[in-house]
Amino acid sequence: MSNETKRDVLEKLAECYAEVYDAYTNETGSQYYCDDEPNYLDEYAAALPDDLPVIPKAVGKYIQERKAAHDSLAFALTARLTPNEVYEWMCTVTGDPDAELSQIEYVKQQDTFARAWVLGVWRVDETGEIVKLEAEK
């Protein structure tokens, strides 16, 4: 694995693109591209991550409710009044509510929940829809 970020790789690609852009012209001597080419680095900065957390719809609804109530992530993860659907996803094996997740699986579920919470965006498991929380004002 490299120590480069995806942004580093994109910036190298943009530099190569700029060099090619300057070098190639059409038969009239004009460059193939216009000066109003989009700034892909800006688009990349604004784009969503490739690896969005995937959570069930009920878990997303719970995150929205807890965020709207200005609760903390720690509270949301440990709340005693967590809806059953959220508890089952967080703590039990899907399809077998009597079987608890292993410690490793439980931590992975918490990590997925926390990533969705912090990013404020996730993919709904059942539909593939992307949900984005509205920014607080």
Nearest Cα neighbor of 14 from 39, 35, 31, 33 is 39
Mean pLDDT score of the chain: 82
**Its pTM surpasses 0.75:** no
Residues above pLDDT 90, as percent of the chain: 36
Is residue 10 within 8 Å of 40, Cβ to Cβ? yes
Is residue 25 within 8 Å of 56, Cβ to Cβ? no
Give pLDDT tens digits for 35-73: 566 667 777 778 888 889 999 999 999 999 999 999 999
Round to whole Å and give the CA distance between 45 and 25: 30
CA neighbours closer than 13 Å in the CB half-sphere of residue 21: 11
